[in-house]
Amino acid sequence: MSIEIDREKCVGCGSCVGICPGGLIRLDDEKACIPQPERCWGCASCVKECSEEAIALFLGEDMGGLGGRMTARQEDTLLFWTLTRPDGTAQTLTVDRRDSNKY
Ligand code: SF4
Ligand code: SF4
């Protein structure tokens, strides 16, 4: 389980560096990177933190996935999770954070 960082989208704000509970993300040349991706346990904190949707959770076979990627975008209390399948098709799920205790 791991994340993937799109260095083209990364603006080097550093928010993901501070949010990772394992201290796994660093800035290198003002872009985020994860030198030891095998240590990531997929908590998705950095995915939700990145306002540029530059971090994706990789949904590999170890998660029962087929290689898709999941990114997140926030607007007020709404969290939009976009799943992009390996064939490029995408689906977005919306979760209202005020309802998070329902799940
Ligand atoms: S939060 Fe996103 S934009 Fe900011 S440093 Fe991390 S990957 Fe780059
Ligand atoms: S998913 Fe969690 S553990 Fe993995 S790099 Fe992001 S914040 Fe760290």
* Separation between Cα atoms, residue 80 and residue 18, nearest integer Å: 22
**Hey, what domains does the chain have and what are their CATH numbers?**
2-102 (3.30.70.20)
**Nearest-atom index, ligand 1, CA of 46:** 1
81 tagged catalytic:
no
Q: Is the dihedral of CA 93, 99, 102, 103 positive or negative?
A: positive
Residue 3 · residue 55 · CB < 8 Å: yes
- Interval between CA 84 and ligand 1 midpoint (Å): 19
Q: Write the residue with the smallest CA distance to atom 1 of ligand 1.
A: 50
pLDDT digits (tens, 9 = 90+) for 43-101: 999 999 999 999 999 988 777 778 899 999 999 999 999 999 999 999 999 999 898 77
pLDDT digits (tens, 9 = 90+) for 28-42: 999 999 999 999 999
Report in angstroms the alpha-carbon separations of 7 from 11, 79, 100, 101, 103: 8, 23, 31, 34, 33
Q: How far is CA 74 from the centre of its chain?
A: 12
